[in-house]
Amino acid sequence: MEKKGTILSGMRPTGALHLGNYFGALENWVRLQNEYECFFFVADYHALTTGYENTDDFKDNITSLLVDWLAAGLDPEKCTLFLQSSIKEHAELHLLFSMNLPLSWLYRCPTYKDQISQMKDKNITTYGFLGYPCLMATDILVYKADFVPVGEDQLPHIEMTREIARRFNFLYNTEVFPEPQPLLTKAKVLPGLDGRKMSKSYNNTIALSDSPDVVKKKIMSMVTDPARIHKTDPGHPEVCSVFAYHKLFSESIINEIEQDCRKGEIGCVACKKKLAENIAQMMTPIYERRLEWLKRTDDIRDIILEGNKRARVIAERTMDEVRKVMKIDWI
Ligand code: TRP
Ligand code: SF4
């Protein structure tokens, strides 16, 4: 099949993926691998920008991320999976971009300002963290990606990538770098178990690595509409996280659940049981494939070695062009 262009995206290996990550990104990647030439990579350099102090879990986190990807359906026959730090061209291009990247662009970046004020407990007032968007631009441009599927929070980084490409092309009077487009999908938003944003730091996640039993327990302990004390009390699904989950997992019976809740004809326990069943139906196959891949870490290593090889060919080709137009190819 004719592919619709090149796609590149990455995730930082920061621990087990949760359902929020799955619906926000991974599910979409699995679909995209059929339509585009896709490169998906583990952004381990990026993980260092905020987590440089303790790298003890680093390798386990990378393995766990790859296991999640493969279990969710990324297929190394259809897409290229690789490790950022294996391709040294990322580091080289990052250095070269840093020579002409105005500091004001980096200080102005909204994600930089947000993170600096949010992560007061971590010392991230570093050169590396300030350069996060520069590194991300490198990832994208070294493969000359046409499209970058990301969440809305990453849009400023894509915009800066386009500016970095434009600036480079202008300075060296070249057309080496095309300007990539973000690929925003209507991501399905799944709140955390407590109704806030699903996030590891809130301890309100369902991980892809949670066993079906654990998932069930988590669902059964969710807080529902506080106005309902008796089963027959009329409920307000709009304030209930269980209902928000049903919207994603129980599409075919969603109207029925809403009406039964409002009329006080279904109890919260029964309602949650139904949800737990539907979630299990979707998650159990992923969980089982996860267990299989966990036994095959040598094969996963081979998959990455192979992906690295494919990625490297492209990155090396781009760097040859870059050195040539910058005249740093004396030898
Ligand atoms: N910054 C991205 C995130 O936190 C991860 C990432 C790093 C990325 N490099 C990238 C995403 C290149 C897309 C393209 O989600
Ligand atoms: Fe929430 Fe279901 Fe209880 Fe209604 S019946 S409040 S949707 S758990």
Q: pLDDT value at position 24?
A: 87
Q: pLDDT value at position 50?
A: 86
Name the pLDDT band for 35 (thresholds 50, 70, 90). Answer: very high
Q: pLDDT value at position 3?
A: 80
Region 3-21 average pLDDT: 93
- Of all ligands present, the nearest one to the C-alpha of 43 is 1
Q: pLDDT value at position 296?
A: 96
Task: Name the residue with higher pLDDT: 262 or 116.
Answer: 262
Name the pLDDT band for 113 (thresholds 50, 70, 90). Answer: confident
d(CA 28, CA 68): 14
Name the pLDDT band for 95 (thresholds 50, 70, 90). Answer: very high
Q: What's the pLDDT tens digit per position in 145-185?
A: 999 999 888 999 999 999 999 999 999 999 999 999 999 87
Q: Read off the amino acid at residue 233.
A: D
- Measure 269 CA to ligand 2 centroid, in angstroms: 8
Q: pLDDT value at position 1?
A: 62
Q: pLDDT value at position 298?
A: 96
Q: What is the gyration radius of the CA atoms in the chain, in angstroms?
A: 22
Task: Name the residue with higher pLDDT: 144 or 191.
Answer: 144
Q: Which atom of ligand 2 is nearest to the CA of 272?
A: 8
Q: pLDDT value at position 79?
A: 97
- Measure 207 CA to ligand 2 centroid, in angstroms: 23
- The domains of the chain are located at 6-190+297-326, 210-291
The answer to whether the predicted template modeling score (pTM) of the entire model surpasses 0.75 is yes
Instruction: Answer whether residue 2 shows pLDDT above 80.
Output: no
Q: Read off the amino acid at residue 208.
A: L
Query: Which residue among 152, 154, 155, 158 has the greatest number of ligand 1 atoms within 8 angstroms of its CB, and so is best to mutate?
Result: 154
Q: pLDDT value at position 185?
A: 75
Pocket of ligand 2 (CB under 6 A): 224-225, 228, 235, 237, 240, 242-243, 261, 266, 268, 271-272
For 153-178, letters b (16+ CB in 10 Å) and e give ebebbbebbbbbbebbbeebeeebbe
Q: pLDDT value at position 13?
A: 96
Q: What's the pLDDT tens digit per position in 294-326?
A: 999 999 999 999 999 999 999 999 999 999 999
CATH T-level fold of 210-291 = Tyrosyl-Transfer RNA Synthetase (1.10.240)
Instruction: Answer whether residue 108 shows pLDDT above 90.
Output: yes
Residue whose Cα lies nearest atom 8 of ligand 2: it is 268
Instruction: Answer whether residue 188 shows pLDDT above 90.
Output: no
- Of all ligands present, the nearest one to the C-alpha of 238 is 2
6-190+297-326 matches 210-291 in fold: no
Instruction: Answer whether residue 65 shows pLDDT above 80.
Output: yes
Q: pLDDT value at position 124?
A: 78
Instruction: Answer whether residue 41 shows pLDDT above 80.
Output: yes
Q: pLDDT value at position 230?
A: 85
Q: pLDDT value at position 135?
A: 97
Contact between 169 and 38 under an 8 Å Cβ cutoff? The reply is no
Query: Which residue among 9, 160, 185 has the greatest number of ligand 1 atoms within 8 angstroms of its CB, and so is best to mutate?
Result: 9
Query: Which residue among 194, 218, 236, 243 has the greatest number of ligand 2 atoms within 8 angstroms of its CB, and so is best to mutate?
Result: 243
d(CA 164, CA 103): 12
Instruction: Answer whether residue 187 shows pLDDT above 80.
Output: no
Average pLDDT, the chain: 93
* Ligand 1 near 65 CB (within 6 A): no
Residue whose Cα lies nearest atom 4 of ligand 2: it is 261
* Ligand 1 near 139 CB (within 6 A): yes
266: Cβ–Cβ under 8 A, 6 or more apart, which residues? 231, 257, 260
Instruction: Answer whether residue 123 shows pLDDT above 90.
Output: no
Region 262-272 average pLDDT: 92
The CATH superfamily assigned to 6-190+297-326 is: HUPs (3.40.50.620)
- Measure 44 CA to ligand 1 centroid, in angstroms: 10
Q: pLDDT value at position 12?
A: 95
Share of the chain above pLDDT 90, in %: 76
* Ligand 1 near 154 CB (within 6 A): yes
Instruction: Answer whether residue 120 shows pLDDT above 80.
Output: no
Task: Name the residue with higher pLDDT: 191 or 286.
Answer: 286
Structure tokens at 3: 């592919």
Query: Which residue among 32, 82, 109, 139 has the greatest number of ligand 1 atoms within 8 angstroms of its CB, and so is best to mutate?
Result: 139
Q: What's the pLDDT tens digit per position in 214-252?
A: 999 999 999 898 888 888 888 999 989 999 999 989 988
